[in-house]
Copies of this chain bind each other. A is one copy, B any other.
Amino acid sequence: MVIIMQREATPEQLQAVIKTIEESGFKAFVNPGVERNVVALLGALDAEKVRLADRFSVLPGVERVAPISEPYKLASRETHPQDTVVRVGKVRVGGPTLAIIAGPCSVESREQTLEVARAVKAAGANMLRGGAFKPRTSPYAFQGLGREGLEILAEARAETGLAVVTEVLDPHDLPIVERYADVIQIGARNMQNSRLLQRVGQCGKPVLLKRGAGCRVRDLLMACEYVMIEGNHQVILCERGITTFEDSTRFTTDINAVPVLKRLCHLPVILDPSHSAGDWRYVTPLAKAAIAAGADGLLVEVHPNPRDALSDGPQSLEPPKFSRLMREATKVARAVGRRMPAARRTQ
C-alpha cells in the first residue's frame, strides 16, 4: 500500500504519516519524488488494507492511498476511463487525427534536416523527429551533433511549423533539450533509467516514451508511472519492436501491444515501423497495420539519402517513399475512422 503525499505537504505532515504507520505496527519507507513524496506502508495483510486506507487518507497532507497490488495506477484506464489527449502546440495526440512524426534518425547537418523537414511536411506529417543526442550500441558510432543539432531542429520548426520531437539521454542535458524540444523522447535503451524518467516527469513538456526492446508491456506502463507520479501526465507511449528469436527482421513488431495498451491505459499509443522491422521495405505495410490495429500515430524515419545516413540508413525511407506511405496510410486511416493530419490542411 502506498500513501501519495500532496505536492504542498510539509515535512511535518510527512513525519506524521510515518509515525502513524509505525505506531500501527508497520514499516514505512519514503520514496522521495521531486514534486511529491510517496510513502510505502509495508507488512499489512490484504484484509487490513481497507481499514488502513481509510485511516491514512484523512491525514493532513495525504493526496490519496493506493493498494500496491495495482502495479500501475496513474496510467491505468481503470482509474481514468476516458482517452487522454496529449497537446503539442496545435497538434492533438490521441484524438481522431493521427500523429505522424517523421524525420531523420540523426540530425546530421542543417541541409539534410531542412530537406527532410520540408519533405515530411509536404507529405502530411505534423511533427518532426530528429536525434541530436544519439544513444548508440557502439561508442564508435556517431553520437549526434548535440546542441548544434537542437538548433538545426529549431530552425526547421521555425520554417515548417512542425513540432520537434527529440531524445534526451541524460538528466544533465534535460534543460537544454527542454528548451528546444516540443516533445521530449525517452529512447528504448533508457526506458528503465528511473532517474531520467523522474527528471522528465518534472519538466513541462510532453514525453514520448519508447518501449525497451527487452521489456514487457507492463514494464513500459511501470516506466510511464515513474514519469506520471512526478506530475507530468502528458505521455505518449511508443511500440518499437521487441527482441525475439526471429531474425528475418531486426526486431519483432509487437502489434498486439497496440490494442493491449489501448485497453489497459488511457494514454495515446503510437508505433515506430522503422525500428520495429529495421528494413525500409517493411515500413509501409507495418505503418498501415499499426493504424488498422488502432494506433494513434506513427514515428517514421525519413532520410534524403539513406545509403549515406550516419545511423539507421537501412530502415529509413526516402521522401518519395514516405509520400507513398502517407497516401496509402490515409486510406487505411479513413477505413478505421481516423484522419491523417494532412486532411486538415485542406480544410
Residues in A lying within 8 Å of B, measured CB to CB: 2, 29, 31-33, 38, 40, 42-43, 66, 68, 71-73, 135-143, 169-172, 189-190, 192-196, 198, 212-219, 222-223, 225-226, 229, 242-249, 252-260, 263-264, 276-277, 281-282, 285-286, 288-294, 308, 310, 328, 331-332, 334-336
* CB-CB under 8 A for A192 and B225, given A216-B245, A256-B276, A288-B336: no
Smallest distance from the beta carbon of A99 to chain B beta carbons, Å?
A: 18
Q: 9 closest pairs, A vs B, by CB? A: A214-B214, A189-B192, A243-B245, A292-B292, A331-B335, A288-B292, A335-B335, A170-B195, A289-B289
**B216 pairs with A31, CB closer than 8 A:** no
A256 x B248 contact (CB < 8 A): yes
The one of B172, B194, B215, B334 in contact with A139, judged by C-beta atoms closer than 8 angstroms, is B194
CA distance A292 to B242 in the complex (A): 21
Report whether A248 and B218 are in contact in the complex, using a CB–CB cutoff of 8 Å: yes
**Candidates B142, B257, B285; contact of A259 at CB < 8 Å:** B285
Question: CA A143 – CA B225 in complex, angstroms?
Answer: 14
Q: Indicate how many identical chains form the complex.
A: 4
B288 near A260: Cβ-Cβ < 8 Å? no
Residues of B within 8 A of A334 (CB): 335
Beta-carbon nearest neighbor of A263 in chain B: B281
Residue numbers in B under 8 Å from A192 (CB-CB): 135, 137, 189-190
Residues of B near A290 (CB, < 8 A) are 289
Rounded to whole Å, the gap between the CB of A157 and the closest CB of chain B is 24
**Cβ contact within 8 Å between B336 and A255:** no
Does the CB pair B277–A288 fall under 8 Å? Answer: no
Residue of B nearest to A43 (CB): B308
**Alpha-carbon gap, A31 to B32, bound state (A):** 36
9 A-B pairs whose Cβ atoms sit less than 8 Å apart in the complex: A136-B194, A137-B222, A139-B222, A143-B194, A169-B194, A247-B247, A253-B255, A331-B335, A332-B332
